[in-house]
Structure 1
């Protein structure tokens, strides 16, 4: 991982209006993080301060050492749902220890370049992931909209009107921030009967303190922690790398995924040392940041720092922020996150791509598990790809002028998915005394293909035919020389002699 100080400095000190946009965007994100962090703490079965302190520590740390400027990381539901059983059975100190181990695993993943796994995630899976998250973000707001008075609906509608209407007048200030401030002022002055942020859970007072987890340093402790830490690390990296790719697309820029993996690990270790739970990148808050003008590391740092300021200094006022204001912001996020082009593209895109996208959406929404949805989409993409490649295959037969030799011209990809068609192409009654199999237009990918060729050659020879195979490319020849049972190729360079 090469460090370029000049590039890193530019990611911080953008200057002028860009710095102002970063600061204002960070303030908006900080306000939006509060109910999320409290909710995720409740999912994990811990005190709200565990999620809030985690969001502060992770956001500020990842701003320093992450690989994707402008992306927001904090306590998340993806990690929260994993650690619930650990907290119930062993207590919160084991959660802190598991989070440290989670960070160590993520740093190791960065060093081992496991970020390259993202190369196997197709565009259809990413689109399905985005759409599923948009749906989940919207569904998460429904509890705030069911069984409430008309005042709640009125404030949500007013918030959306400000969010979408203000940019038509001015973009000097992020419209979500204006919506939160205006609705908070109404709430403080008129006291309408709506739910407040403080109703979600008690906000912490003061600053977090640095401490190591109080757990016994034994192999039994490691046995308990490792399965949770491994799952947390995998889920966190998956969501972070997918979110980084989405932010890359939104900002038309690139990011260092390897650095992001290690940065997520470092941020989680810091969070645990300050009494926080594990976390990862958040697509909702990242979209808020980007759409509010945040692009640099400063926006992420301000989100964490301002959240700390809110908790330590303005706690009573933050508790009076009306939830309808934040619901309006999150509805805006869900609308902006959803890939609306994917709906008409269902008819324009190839059927397998549409099936992969819909499968990813359905699995994520049904299970509330992002990793399961992405895994289902990746597996289905692989199956469709293998099916497509195995059809790019043909065998043609011709006879020499004297009829003494049958020549089979093989073209395409020979691997586990195409060996059945490859074998059936030779299941004909061969009367020519000699057979040549020309594979100069084919490629053998695995031992399944080599094994199929072995069976064909062995059968023809049992029937009394003289068989030779020619035209291996270098990679296929190496594979055949290592694993085939029939004649070796003798290839050292280029093609075998005809």
Structure 2
């Protein structure tokens, strides 16, 4: 074997004084966490070969993003040009300033429900304000280095609201899919389906035929040619069918009057404190969704390429992109998992591919926007049906139905609230339920691992000198009273289990001479547990009991001392 091979180096004995120390890359300084990957790529060296790969990948993703951007904008209750503007502005900045080499940004299905709701209640200006606030929040999240933690939202919660969004997107496309010509469908899920089912017998056959043709082409292209742009093929096929047979089908041109061939000038709506307060919950939902989806997309890209993204830099880039998109006439954006995966499969090497994708969409707006007027709305609705099916994650949903009861409850509650109430409420309730479930499980784990030992005064009196506090036969009174009680805590000592110390004192009955709390296995302690501990120590002092804290680790000891527990005065700290 070659002496310079990695396997030979890895097998060198660490105890050999002549062996070189293992290589460990130096950690980045704090500001290094916010260096965009684009600068890293350019610093490493960027050549013609990489540019060719990025060019092909960028153009491929642009072809995929073109119909999706318009379809998602229409489903969100706004005009198709705003979807393209979002893909151009946000897509360019997310790639240029983000922390991932391969991230493709733009409008996504996750935002359809919240955007539609904001426009319905506050108008487009309200959506812009919410997008700007969400962008500022994302920048703050990144600067506060919350990127490491924002992706810790439990999988059942993510699956629940993602599947709920998919069902709502599907429901919103029934009108255009069958040409029902419903002018003002109610936004509530049950009321909307009541209206849709009443109007379903009056479906328009040409519109239904175009939608079926588009859907068939998409599915056929995906099966036979997975690398081809199935969405563009399907939408183009629907447009050709409408033109060839002169079908009386509603198009982008007939409903929206076409797409402008210019980008709008930056614009800020009138902002007031009342509007900010009213839109703050929706803005927080947008920020959380953008952060979660972008970081999930970056994790998927890392898994496909072996690279490592910078989560906090990604959040800052997402925030700047959302602020810019809102000011330029777009709406909220985030990393798109499917488009990012397409980018990687198409041979992308760097963020330049995402920037090319945005520039290609800009070229379409400036040169070929009039062609979009011929696209049938039924074809765009068919593309969103496929998007909704992909978002539904029905296999994961079905798999989670076999998870523990608490996870099932989180999944179904989040799903039900997303569909029937509101996405903001669903996320808030889901996160709170996850926190409560986590605390319950941790409290149960600590309780299960905790116990006390009663050491009798006269050992000869008892055959069994050590009993747990939970045994009915444990001595509690008279001369059987233990001289020393050892109470062991295993696991985090936090507010969920803080009351257990007081419970132990009640179970013991007559206070012992010495009460030892073994904290060897307590990695962390919080203020509530410290307060409960202080109350237990005060109770012991009232009965003349000496309290010892044994094996306290540095972090819990610092907390205890900072909150007033003094060694030798209030309590004895014993290292053994």
TM-score tier after normalising by the smaller chain length: 0.7 to 0.9
Structure 2 residue aligned with 1:396: 452
Structure 1 pair 398/87, CA: closer, same or farther in 2 (3 Å)? same
Does 2:152 correspond to 1:73? no
Does 2:284 correspond to 1:223? no
Structure 1 pair 110/228, CA: closer, same or farther in 2 (3 Å)? farther
Distance apart, 1:250 and its partner CA: 4.2
Does 2:65 correspond to 1:29? yes
Structure 1 pair 150/21, CA: closer, same or farther in 2 (3 Å)? farther
Does 2:219 correspond to 1:187? no
Structure 1 pair 380/95, CA: closer, same or farther in 2 (3 Å)? closer
CA–CA distance in 2 between the matches of 1:271 and 1:477?
49
Structure 1 residue aligned with 2:485: 407
CA–CA distance in 2 between the matches of 1:334 and 1:169?
21
Matches within 5 A, 1:445-460: 445-460=525-540
The answer (yes or no) to whether the contact 1:240–1:282 under 8 Å persists in 2 is yes
Does 2:147 correspond to 1:115? yes
CA–CA distance in 2 between the matches of 1:488 and 1:203?
81
Structure 1 pair 466/264, CA: closer, same or farther in 2 (3 Å)? closer
Total equivalences in the alignment: 479
Structure 2 residue aligned with 1:58: 90
Deviation digits for residues 364-415 of structure 1, max 9, x if unmatched?
222342x432222221111011111111222222214636622222222432
Structure 2 residue aligned with 1:128: 160
CA–CA distance in 1 between the matches of 2:48 and 2:159?
30
Distance apart, 1:178 and its partner CA: 1.5
CA–CA distance in 1 between the matches of 2:561 and 2:40?
51
Structure 1 pair 290/329, CA: closer, same or farther in 2 (3 Å)? farther
Q: 2:251 aligns with which of 190, 196, 206?
A: 196
Does 2:557 correspond to 1:477? yes
Distance apart, 1:427 and its partner CA: 0.7
Structure 1 pair 487/18, CA: closer, same or farther in 2 (3 Å)? closer
Matches within 5 A, 1:256-405: 256-274=310-328, 276-281=329-334, 283=336, 286-287=337-338, 290=341, 293=345, 296=348, 297=351, 300-369=354-423, 371-391=424-444, 392-393=446-447, 394-400=450-456, 402=458, 405=483
State TM-score, norm by structure 1: 0.82
CA–CA distance in 2 between the matches of 1:161 and 1:462?
81
Deviation digits for residues 310-353 of structure 1, max 9, x if unmatched?
44433432111112222222222222222233244235422222
CA–CA distance in 2 between the matches of 1:101 and 1:431?
59
Matches within 5 A, 1:79-118: 79=115, 81-82=117-118, 87=123, 92=125, 103-118=135-150
The answer (yes or no) to whether the contact 1:22–1:295 under 8 Å persists in 2 is no
Q: Secondary structure at the match of 1:358?
A: helix
Q: Secondary structure at the match of 1:313?
A: helix
The answer (yes or no) to whether the contact 2:89–2:358 under 8 Å persists in 1 is yes
CA–CA distance in 1 between the matches of 2:422 and 2:335?
15
CA–CA distance in 2 between the matches of 1:180 and 1:22?
20
**What are the ranges of 5 or more consecutive residues in structure 2 without an aligned counterpart?**
1-33, 181-202, 460-481
Structure 1 residue aligned with 2:171: 139
Structure 1 pair 115/226, CA: closer, same or farther in 2 (3 Å)? farther
Q: Which has the larger radius of gyration?
A: 2
Deviation digits for residues 400-454 of structure 1, max 9, x if unmatched?
4636622222222432111233322221354475122232345362222222223
Structure 1 residue aligned with 2:517: 438
Q: Secondary structure at the match of 1:314?
A: helix
Structure 2 residue aligned with 1:218: none
Q: Secondary structure at the match of 1:410?
A: strand
Distance apart, 1:263 and its partner CA: 1.9
The answer (yes or no) to whether the contact 1:99–1:277 under 8 Å persists in 2 is no
**What are the ranges of 5 or more consecutive residues in structure 1 without an aligned counterpart?**
216-220
Q: 2:286 aligns with which of 236, 254, 269?
A: 236
Structure 1 pair 134/79, CA: closer, same or farther in 2 (3 Å)? closer
Deviation digits for residues 76-115 of structure 1, max 9, x if unmatched?
5435644665558xxx5x8767755654454343323233
CA–CA distance in 1 between the matches of 2:104 and 2:218?
21
Structure 1 pair 342/112, CA: closer, same or farther in 2 (3 Å)? same
Structure 1 pair 410/119, CA: closer, same or farther in 2 (3 Å)? farther
Distance apart, 1:16 and its partner CA: 5.6
The answer (yes or no) to whether the contact 1:86–1:228 under 8 Å persists in 2 is no
Distance apart, 1:212 and its partner CA: 5.3
CA–CA distance in 2 between the matches of 1:295 and 1:359?
41
State TM-score, norm by structure 2: 0.72
CA RMSD of aligned residues (A): 3.6
CA–CA distance in 2 between the matches of 1:429 and 1:417?
22
Q: 1:156 aligns with which of 208, 211, 218?
A: 211
Question: Which protein has greater RCO, CA pairs closer than 8 Å, 6+ apart?
Answer: 1
